[in-house]
Amino acid sequence: MWFSPWDNGLERGAQLAQSLWAFSAGGLSGMGLGLGSPGVVPAVHTDLILAAIGEELGFFGVLACLALYALIALRGFRVARRAVDDYAMFLALGLTLNIVLEALLIAGGSTGLVPLTGVVLPFVSYGRSALVLHLLGLGMLWSLSARVVEPRSVTMGSTLHAAFDRPRRMLLAVLAVPLVGVLLKTADVQVARANATFARESLELQADQELRYQSNPRLLKVAAAIPRGDVLDRNGVVLATSDWTHLQRQRDRLEALGVDPVLACDPDDDRHYPFGGLTYHLLGDVVSQRDWGASNTAFVERRYDAALCGYDDHARVVTIRDPRDGQPRRVVRRDRSELIPLWRHRYEPGSRAVKSLLGRSRDLTLTIDVRLQAAAARILAQRLAAAGVERGAAVALDPRDGALLACVSAPWPRGPIRGDARPGRGDPGDDVAPERLDRARFGVYPPGSTFKIVTAAAALSQDPALARATFTCRSLADGVGAVVGGRVVHDDTSDRPHGTIAMGEATAVSCNAYFAQLGARIGWPTLAAMAQRFGVSAGRPPSVKAYTAYAIESAYGQAQVTATPLEMARAAAVVANGGTLPAVHWVTQAAARDSAATQVITAGVAGTLAGFLRGAVYHGTARRLAAMRPLVAGKTGTAQVTQGRAHAWFVGFAPYGPASRRVAFAVMLEHGGYGGDQATALGGDLVAEAARLGFAR
């Protein structure tokens, strides 16, 4: 901890960092008695009491404290020099050194000059036996000082006593060296580099055994005191606010969307979420902070906490070396130095620096259209009920720039969100409550035949002539399909043999046998590379010998292939966007985008795939939408699982053909059965709502 106070990565290894934060908080003159936050420093009443003095009384207070110990040293050495005999001299020196060395040791440890030990600061730290012994020692010094003689008195004339006169002076000079060192170190932390130290983060090992950078709790305290801004949808509808009057001003708009703010929110709540559980997976709940640290969440209230408080925390991902095993780890690091004026002037609300920071806009606008969000939730609930299941997801995004338009996960928490994000069923503390999982963005499922979009893209990118390559689907002893690489690949039990067909027809009728043979043709490396470019996990074969088997099964979306509904919506967006994978985002600010758009396939390949997907709707597995306007291009998926019915998928985009604006989508019904049934109907309903709102035209 001494060698690396900021990056040691130890559990409870931030004690020295906490001390340095306290010193830097005080600066030159301190916060004032009772106005600091020394309580956040561990063992502040014993080991690190000097840090508390530095925070509340500043460098001047530390200087005064150390000056008192210097005075004790001078007086103690004076008593020793004038002692009546050798015994009294050594006793006075010992008592003085016991106090002074202990003070220098803990002062040096508190500032990082020497390793931190568990000794107390004499007469200042809370203590029992130590305090008694220090007072006893001081009393003995006082007693010895009452029995002294003049240094040149003949009664003092012990040869040994006289011989120690010069060493005593040298020892006093030696003691001055660490004292000056502590003062210089304190001046560096509290004055020269006070702000840099105050804003620096400490790498700590958390209770879940993950390494994370932690900010100075004082900065977090002032950030929490900033009035939080509103979260708005793309049209300015309030999704979250801390000001009840903002809901009152939008009452007509909210009621038009079926929300009564009086019933949905309580004026006494710290934070208001008028749409309740419908936006919980997107926003989270800043009051209860339920699931706040979960890795499978992306709550706006947490992720953009700094923006909602009106400052930039300069969050960035850095690679560190894990001190436990030496392996590289990627962690988030922040710089909250913009908040320092709020701490330095927190009792001066009229300060120009405070006014400047608090005068910034703190509102955050999402790309979500709450009208489409509400409509998607309604139709998802209807189609889930029709399929006889309860869990599913629906995602709609703009393929041009990746703006998320709607993102619904069912089930969602029912009722108002009033600081507890209450689930509709089960115990609120149940970590596996179905309402808690954001299936749209973090639910991982086998994509089934929707992955054939990726397989076709890999084949066409490898050789465009493969669009005309034919493979045969025939009758087998136990169904329909083909034997590929010694493996039996079946199509749906209700299918008839598709015969010898090319890629377009195979996509339309979703022929597993065709795509298994196509996967064997292009090979695993090609297929896996394309899946990676699309952002879909294809798994990893255990050995090179397994490449062919993985290519065969993965080509039609089984084996270890997994994806989230959002990832499959992005795959559809690639086709709709001329081969470019958009950078998905749900906050309008440009800084909120995590990555840039990338060209995944050529525009020619994307155009061919779009035609294949339109064929699936026009005369294939999604033909129930053939007559729909705007024209839909999409791919169904029936993902087989080991237990229960298959997951039902439908992904695609609209309009197909010339368009001024398109919407890409993905819907999934967990254990919903055949993809061409309720999932396709849900996709059609979602497109219809998007078109009504002007997102597809």
pLDDT digits (tens, 9 = 90+) for 385-434: 999 999 999 999 999 999 999 999 999 987 655 544 443 333 444 445 78
In SS3 terms, 20-46 reads as HHHHHHHCCCCCCCCCCCHHHCCCCCC
Least confident range from 173-187, 220-234, 588-602: namely 588-602
Q: What are 581's two structure tokens? A: 């994978």
Distance CA 281, CA 408 (A): 8
Which token pair is 303? 């992720």
**What are the angstrom distances between the C-alpha of 99 and each of 75, 135, 171, 175, 343?**
12, 10, 15, 12, 35
Domains of the chain (ranges plus CATH)?
Answer: 15-199 (no CATH), 214-365 (no CATH), 367-412+437-442+569-590+614-697 (3.30.450.330), 446-563 (3.40.710.10)
pLDDT of residue 423: 39
Q: What is the pLDDT of residues 659-686, one digit of tens each?
A: 999 999 999 999 999 888 999 999 999 9
Kindly report, residue by residue over 206-229, the tens digit of the pLDDT: 777 888 889 999 999 999 889 999
Average pLDDT over residues 240-247: 93
Q: Model confidence over 26-68: pLDDT tens digits?
A: 999 998 898 888 888 888 888 889 999 999 999 999 999 999 9
Stretch 320-331: mean pLDDT: 85
Give SS3 for 324.
coil
- pLDDT at res. 429: 45
Crossing angle (nearest 10°) for helices 524-534 and 512-522 = 110
Residue 272 has pLDDT above 70, yes or no: yes
Question: What counts of helices (H) and strands (E) characterise the chain?
Answer: 26, 18
pLDDT at 424: 38
pLDDT of amino acid 57 = 94
628 vs 429, more confident: 628
81 band by pLDDT with thresholds 50, 70 and 90? confident
| Beta bridge mates, 635 | 651
Determine the Cα–Cα distance for residues 499 and 519; give it in Å rounded to an integer.
18
For residue 638 the two structure tokens come to 């029936």
Q: Are 395 and 665 in contact, with CB atoms under 8 Å apart? A: yes
Q: What is the percent of the chain with per-residue pLDDT over 70, rounded to a whole number?
A: 94
**Average pLDDT of the segment spanning 610-621:** 96
Give the pLDDT of residue 426: 38
The whole-number pLDDT of residue 366 equals 96
Mean of pLDDT values over 259-278: 89
pTM of the predicted model, to two decimals? 0.84
pLDDT at 512: 93
Calpha distance 638→652 (Å, rounded)? 15
Residue 585 has pLDDT above 90, yes or no: yes
579: helix, coil or strand?
coil
Residue 455 in this model has a pLDDT that exceeds 90:
yes
Residue 477, phi-psi category: left (phi > 0), alpha (psi -120 to 50), beta (remainder): alpha
Question: From CA 430, how far away is CA 202, in angstroms rounded?
Answer: 32
Sheet strands (E) in 398-448: 404-410
Contact 474, 536 (CB under 8 A): no
More confident residue, 609 or 558: 609
Distance between CA 548 and CA 207 in Å, rounded? 43
Spatial neighbors of 62 by CB under 8 A, at least 6 apart, are 23, 50, 53, 54, 183, 186, 190
For residue 138, is pLDDT > 50? yes
pLDDT at 3 over 80: no
Averaged pLDDT for residues 574-597 = 83
Of the pLDDT bands very low, low, confident and very high (cuts 50, 70, 90), residue 527 is very high
